[in-house]
Structure 1
Amino acid sequence: MSTQLKTPTTDEWIPSLEDTPFMRLGGEEAVKALAAAFYDAMDATEPALARLHVLEPDGKVSRGTRERFGLFLIGWLGGPQHYIERHGHPRLRMRHGHVPVDSGMRDAWLRCMHKAMDARGLTGNVRRFLEERFGQTADFLRNTEG
C-alpha cells in the first residue's frame, strides 16, 4: 500500500513510500549534492540571502549550515530522518521566525533552488514535483508582508 502525496494528471509521477523523491534523486549523496549546489548558488548570486546565515571567514555560507540543510532535505524527501535524530523536529516556521521572510526573500531562495536543480541536472516529473513542493514550503515560511 502506498501513500500518495497528490492527485496525478496525465503523465505525472506520484511519490509513494516505495518511490520517494529521495530515491528518485539517488539517495543521500545526491541529496547532499543538491544542498551544496543550493548554497553554492546562494553564495554566487544572492548575497543578501547568504548574509542571513552563519558565514565562514571567506564569506560563504558555513559548512554546518550546509550539512544541516542536507540532513533536513534527506528526511523531507523521504529518506532517513537523520535531521530529526540530531536536531529534533524541524519546526520550519519557528526556526525561521527570527528572519523577516517576504516575497523577495522567498523568490531569492527559490532562484537558488532552481539553480541547484539545474546544476544537478534534475528534469522531468521529479523536477516538477520538487518545484511545486519547494514553492509551497518557501511561501509557507513568509512571515512579512511584501
Structure 2
Amino acid sequence: MRNPHFDAIGGEAPIARLVERFYFHMESLPEAAAIRAMHGANLTPVKDVLVKFLVEWMGGPKVYSTERGHPRLRHKHMTFPIGESERDAWMLCMRRAMEDVVANATLRQQLEQAFFKTANFIRNDRGSNHA
C-alpha cells in the first residue's frame, strides 16, 4: 500500500517548505547547536537531499532512490555520534517545522510518530535500544 502522507501534506512544495523550516530551527535553536555542527556551512545540498528523501519517504515520486540508491540511513549516519540528545534535538526542529507548515493536527501526529521511529533507528550510541 502506498504511503498516503505525500498527498495529505500537499505534495513536494510543502515538503520543501518543511525542510526549509526544519533547517531554520536547526540554525536558530540553542538546543540544536550540536546537530547543526554536524553539517557543513552550506546547507543547500543537504536540504536538496532531504527534500528528495522525504518526498519518497512520504509516498511521492522515487527520485531519491533513483539518484542515490537505497537510503541506508543508519549506515549513512554512522560517522556522526547520534544518541538520545541528538535524536531529541532533531525531533525538536522537525516538530517546530511541522507546526509551521502542516496545518492538519492528525497528519502532524502521524508524521511525528514516523519521524521519531526513524530518528530513533538512526541512533548509534553504545548500549542504546534500537527496538
Give the TM-score taking structure 1 as reference length. 0.81
Shift of 1:131: 0.8
Give the corresponding residue for 2:17.
33
Unaligned 5+ residue runs, structure 2? none
Note if contact 2:102-2:108 (Cα within 8 Å) is conserved in structure 1.
no
Aligned residue among 31, 39, 49 for 1:53: 39
Is 1:126 paired with 2:107?
A: yes
Shift of 1:119: 1.1
Is 1:79 paired with 2:65?
A: no
Q: If each structure's helix is expressed as a fraction of its own residues, which one has the higher value?
A: 2
Unaligned 5+ residue runs, structure 1? 4-16, 57-61
Shift of 1:139: 0.6
Q: Distance in 1 between matches of 2:85 and 2:93?
A: 12
Amino acid of the structure 2 residue aligned with 1:131 = E
CA RMSD of aligned residues (A): 1.4
Compare relative contact order (CA 8 Å, sep 6+) and give the higher one, 1 or 2: 2
Shift of 1:21: 0.3
Identity %: 34
Give the TM-score taking structure 2 as reference length. 0.90
Is 1:108 paired with 2:108?
A: no
Q: Distance in 2 between matches of 1:122 and 1:131?
A: 13
Shift of 1:54: 1.7
Compare CA radii of gyration and give the structure with the larger one: 1
